[in-house]
């Protein structure tokens, strides 16, 4: 079942009805704090990140302060989340780079962002979307699973999924759709036990109707 442009827009409308409050679930007070939070969220839940960032940002609210931190102190603060040693190293190096190259400011540029330690394609897209208001699609595990399971796209990896979604979804809807797909993956379209019978978009879903 191939979704037409009309059906895709109807599907996106329905997702927005289902999740009117879909937005970034990370807590932050600046674009720098958003960037750090997204880096910390790799392979970890947003809830877990939000549990450690209040202390982190109280002690190190900006790039200048964090660039002077001791790596051991950062590890102590974020040790409850996965890969905390690697992430401590990355956010320290990231902050030093921001201080030395960008006067402590987060650059509004994709290529400059992905050159920062610990920042990949998904992180850069989230920062550009949430922090700077650009239309972006960041493909995490939820977006990858749900978009392919529904039949919005038919791809085997994250990058191809992102590029395919950018083709089939109107650009002005990229960021909103990103959040809607995450919420749908989180609250309905579970990886192992999707709640298909309760799903409001099952009529559009390739898997459900196959």
Taking phi over 0 as left and psi of -120 to 50 as alpha, with beta for the rest, 26 belongs to beta
> How buried is residue 207: exposed, middle or buried, by Cβ count under 10 Å (0-12/13-18/19+)?
middle
Q: Among the options 47, 140, 167, 195, which is catalytic?
A: 140
Note whether 129 and 138 are within 8 A (CB). Answer: yes
Q: Among the options 62, 122, 157, 198, which is catalytic?
A: 122
What is the CA angle 51-16-196, rounded to 5?
85
State how far Cα 44 lies from the chain centre.
11
- 140 assigned to active site: yes
- How far is 66 from 60, CA to CA, in rounded Å? 5
Other CB atoms within a 10 A radius of the CB of residue 5 amount to 10
Q: Residue 15 half-sphere exposure, CB side, CA atoms within 13 Å?
A: 32
- 21 assigned to active site: no
Residues annotated as catalytic are: 122, 140
């Amino acid at each position: 079942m191939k979704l037409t442009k009309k059906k895709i827009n109807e599907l996106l409308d329905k997702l927005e009805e289902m999740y009117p409050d879909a937005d970034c679930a990370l807590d932050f007070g600046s674009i720098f704090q958003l960037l750090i939070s997204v880096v910390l969220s790799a392979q970890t839940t947003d809830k877990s990140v939000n549990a450690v960032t209040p202390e982190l940002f109280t002690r190190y609210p900006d790039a200048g302060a964090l660039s002077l931190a001791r790596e051991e102190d950062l590890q102590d603060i974020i040790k409850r989340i996965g890969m905390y040693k690697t992430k401590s190293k990355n956010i320290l190096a990231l902050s030093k780079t921001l201080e030395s190259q960008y006067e402590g400011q987060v650059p509004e540029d994709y290529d400059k962002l992905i050159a920062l330690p610990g920042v990949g394609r998904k992180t850069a897209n989230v920062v550009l979307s949430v922090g700077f208001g650009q239309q972006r699609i960041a493909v995490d595990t939820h977006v990858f699973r749900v978009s392919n399971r529904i039949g919005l796209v038919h791809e085997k990896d994250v990058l191809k999924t992102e590029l395919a979604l950018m083709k089939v979804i109107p650009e002005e809807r990229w960021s909103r759709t990103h959040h809607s797909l995450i919420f749908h993956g989180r609250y309905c379209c579970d990886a192992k036990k999707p709640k298909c019978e309760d799903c409001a978009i099952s009529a559009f879903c390739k898997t459900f109707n196959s």
